[in-house]
Amino acid sequence: MSAAEAGDVFHRARGRTLDAFSSEKEREWKGPFYFIQGADPQFGLMKAWSTGNCNSSGDEWEQEIRLTEQAVQAINRLNPKPRFFVLCGDLIHAMPGVRAVFSGHYHRNAGGTYKNLDMVVSSAIGCQLGKDTHGLRVVVVTAEKIVHRYYSLDELNEKGIEDDLMELMKQ
């Protein structure tokens, strides 16, 4: 999926809400429902597997993107709609052009670099297991670099995004 296509998907999703998950409505049993669980789109593995080189050769994602789009289309056609969709397992096998991977689940800020790939772990909005505050990571992506900064919720709410990050987006 190109950046333009991803932007289009985001644009179409903007403003939509999921009333089923709002506050008090979820505290009471409302009857049976279903959800969809998908696993292992593992972008890049199909080429690697077909070439017999699973340690590399995963630089093409077209097949996996097509299948993932097919899965989303099938789910969107269901009636009644599922309550939610969970995607588990390996999301990617190889990362052509990827310079950083952002994740969570550690409930504290962490990370490192391996072979020019930054691994960035952001602390939690909720329960903190380290000394970090409840917060969010702002990530600015330009053609030349990726710059990220973790903000406490209070800091982001009171001060917003710092000027140097905002300046990067104007370039």
pLDDT in tens, the chain (171 residues): 444 554 454 455 555 554 544 556 667 888 788 888 888 888 888 888 888 777 766 678 888 999 999 999 999 999 889 988 888 777 777 666 778 888 888 999 999 998 888 999 999 999 999 899 999 999 998 888 899 999 999 999 999 999 999 998 887
Using an 8 Å Cβ cutoff, are 82 and 36 in contact?
yes
Q: 0.75 cut: is pTM over it? A: no
